[in-house]
Chains A and B, each alone.
Chain A
Amino acid sequence: MINIHNLHKKFGKNIVLSGVNLDIKEGGIFAILGPNGSGKTTLIKSILGMVIPNKGTINLLGKSIKNNSDYRNKIDYLPQIANFPSNLKVKELITMIKDLRGNKTTHDNDLINQFKLEPFLDKKLGNLSGGTKQKVNLVLTFMFDSPIIILDEPTSGLDPISLLRLKDLIQSEKSKGKTILITSHIMSFVEEISDEIVFLLEGQIYFKGTINELKEKTNQTDFEHAIASILTENHA
């Protein structure tokens, strides 16, 4: 579904990705993990075409994404920090995004119900709290029915109830056969939800496989310790 070949990216002198090769099959939840600054967001943004790689190719559904924008119709993306134009109302933002993506069938009303956003629909985005913004962000991401979903730190700022709803939502999307990419720093969340993990370290893929495989490889019984052991081994 997503094929990344020999991807290189540097910002000035700072090398972020150096030769990433990654194949992601259709269906399932893939967690992209790694320490701060390991290139998770850069990798995701390269897939989205927001960051232009120095070298390497990315194919999505068999087609190269270079100089192409239509493929983004197949992706729903949740950005890391919910930065929205502050003088727009929530309702207007939702209508605008729907308009920009063409009038496809959407389930924004269900999602607004689920996250209890009705009282905020007429409020301006600049006046919302961080958690509420994140909920709006989730509505914008999940309201379309695209085969690929990319979530960059989806849990940030969410209260426990919304977190539960988010997990349900992710599971129900997975059951529809979608491919979901997630980055997160909350290991319990990753362990609970993901089918496979991709571990980035110093701009390269250090490990790709299931959580059990990672535990075997590192001789740890616990997922969090397994991750920690990778980091200490490589930085000690």
Chain B
Amino acid sequence: MLKILKYSFYDLMRSRWSYVYFAFYLLLGIVLLFLNNDLSKAVITLMNIIIVLVPLIGTIFGVMYYYNSKEFTELLLAQPLNRSSIFLGQYLGVAFSLSMSLILGLGLPFIFYGLFKSNAIWDFSLLIITGTFLTFIFTALAFNIALSNENKIKGFGYAILLWLLLAIIYDGIFLMSLILFEDYPLDKLSLIGTMLNPIDLSRTLILLKLDISALLGYTGAVFKQFFGTNFGLIVSFIMLTLWVIFPVFRIVYKSKRKDF
């Protein structure tokens, strides 16, 4: 698996897209710092962007990489390598290279701005960790979609639909259901609803840490009340980890049963 990871990573590091992604975050970090002139505020703005953008790029990039490396995959399948190591290697290659672009692209401007001397360092680290989690989650989901769909156009369609659903539509439906059923106790429902969407979960996680009640919203408030800040953090991390593990398991399961 490590050999495949190495070659996938190496392949991606040479591709233009990793640099575009890196440059984009670099620029974003610089612009935000200059506009906000304050580390903590920049972290909040960044959160709102990361939570929507990282999943989008993870999904699109994951699907794109899978379809583009079809030839490479077929070449590997005829070699004495087992399937799970081929696909896990490729998945980790994509996820690592995307995470690296994110970490370096955002990290560098914040470090130069004096991150290590400020007390926003923990908030910022949490933001980066969440971003990395989201990258791993959505790349894995993208690989799942691509493995299940031979047709590229369908695959891309489902990938974008998935992102749209989790990043935008989910919140809408969730809010509607809260309004519709406002006569009933909704604490549990909203807790579960938050856990089932990694994007919502990440948002709650960061806001819990930043301790901005105004931005926390109903679910965040319930979350905080129910778990308290520290326990809430732990629970959300466990949920995020599960969100990585399940799709990865499905990659292994699917890849073992697929014909090439």
**Do these two chains really belong together in a complex?**
yes
Give chain A's interface residues, CB within 8 Å of chain B: 11, 45, 48-52, 69-73, 75, 77, 79, 83-88, 96-97, 99-101
Q: Which residue of A lies closest to B3 (CB)?
A: A100
Tell me whether B77 and A50 are in contact (CB under 8 A): yes
Could you list 10 further interchain pairs (A-B, Cβ under 8 angstroms) beyond the known A51-B260, A85-B71? Answer: A49-B77, A50-B260, A52-B259, A69-B81, A70-B80, A72-B79, A84-B75, A86-B71, A100-B4, A100-B76
User: Considering the complex of A and B, which 8 residue pairs feature the smallest CB-CB distances, nearest first?
Assistant: A83-B71, A72-B80, A69-B82, A85-B72, A73-B80, A77-B78, A50-B260, A51-B259
Tell me whether A85 and B69 are in contact (CB under 8 A): yes
Q: Which residue of B lies closest to A50 (CB)?
A: B260
Tell me whether B71 and A100 are in contact (CB under 8 A): no
Tell me whether B81 and A100 are in contact (CB under 8 A): yes
Q: Does B74 contact A (CB under 8 A)?
A: yes
Give chain B residues whose Cβ lies under 8 Å from the Cβ of A72: 78-81
Give chain A residues whose Cβ lies under 8 Å from the Cβ of B70: 83
Q: Does B211 contact A (CB under 8 A)?
A: no
Q: Which residue of A lies closest to B86 (CB)?
A: A69
Min CB distance B79 to A, Å, is 5
**Which listed residue (B79, B83, B257, B260) contacts A100, Cβ 8 A?**
B79
Q: Which residue of B lies closest to A141 (CB)?
A: B78
**Which listed residue (A49, A71, A87) contacts B11, Cβ 8 A?**
A87
A75 to B80, CA, bound (A): 9
Give chain B residues whose Cβ lies under 8 Å from the Cβ of A83: 70-71, 74-75
- Interface membership of chain B positions 52-94, coded 1 if the CB is closer than 8 angstroms to chain A and 0 otherwise: 0000000000000000011110111111111100000000000
Tell me whether A50 and B74 are in contact (CB under 8 A): yes
A-contacting residues, B1-45, CB 8 Å: 3-4, 7, 11, 14-15
Q: Which residue of A lies closest to B76 (CB)?
A: A100
Q: Which residue of A lies closest to B260 (CB)?
A: A50
A45 to B78, CA, bound (A): 9
Identify which of A48, A73, A83, A96 gathers the most chain B CB atoms within 10 Å of its CB. Answer: A96
Min CB distance A131 to B, Å, is 18
Give chain B residues whose Cβ lies under 8 Å from the Cβ of A96: 7
Q: Which residue of B lies closest to A9 (CB)?
A: B259
Min CB distance A31 to B, Å, is 20
Tell me whether B78 and A48 are in contact (CB under 8 A): yes
24 example contacts (A-B, Cβ-Cβ < 8 A) are as follows A11-B259, A45-B260, A48-B77, A50-B78, A50-B259, A52-B257, A69-B83, A71-B80, A72-B78, A79-B75, A83-B74, A84-B72, A84-B75, A85-B11, A85-B71, A85-B72, A85-B75, A87-B11, A88-B11, A96-B7, A97-B79, A100-B79, A101-B79, A101-B80
Min CB distance B18 to A, Å, is 13
A-contacting residues, B210-260, CB 8 Å: 257-260
A72 to B81, CA, bound (A): 8
A228 to B238, CA, bound (A): 66
Give chain A residues whose Cβ lies under 8 Å from the Cβ of B69: 85
If A11-B259, A69-B81, A72-B80 touch, does A87 touch B74 (CB 8 Å cutoff)? no
Give chain A residues whose Cβ lies under 8 Å from the Cβ of B78: 48, 50, 72, 75, 77, 79
Identify which of B15, B72, B80 gathers the most chain A CB atoms within 10 Å of its CB. Answer: B80
Give chain A residues whose Cβ lies under 8 Å from the Cβ of B79: 72, 97, 100-101
**Which listed residue (A69, A77, A99) contacts B3, Cβ 8 A?**
A99
Give chain A residues whose Cβ lies under 8 Å from the Cβ of B83: 69
Identify which of A45, A86, A100, A101 gathers the most chain B CB atoms within 10 Å of its CB. Answer: A100
Identify which of B75, B83, B257 gathers the most chain A CB atoms within 10 Å of its CB. Answer: B75
Q: Which residue of B lies closest to A46 (CB)?
A: B259
- Interface membership of chain B positions 159-183, coded 1 if the CB is closer than 8 angstroms to chain A and 0 otherwise: 0000000000000000000000000
Min CB distance B5 to A, Å, is 12
Identify which of B4, B70, B81 gathers the most chain A CB atoms within 10 Å of its CB. Answer: B81
Give chain A residues whose Cβ lies under 8 Å from the Cβ of B257: 52
A72 to B76, CA, bound (A): 11
Tell me whether B74 and A79 are in contact (CB under 8 A): yes
A142 to B164, CA, bound (A): 49
Min CB distance B199 to A, Å, is 33
Min CB distance B82 to A, Å, is 4
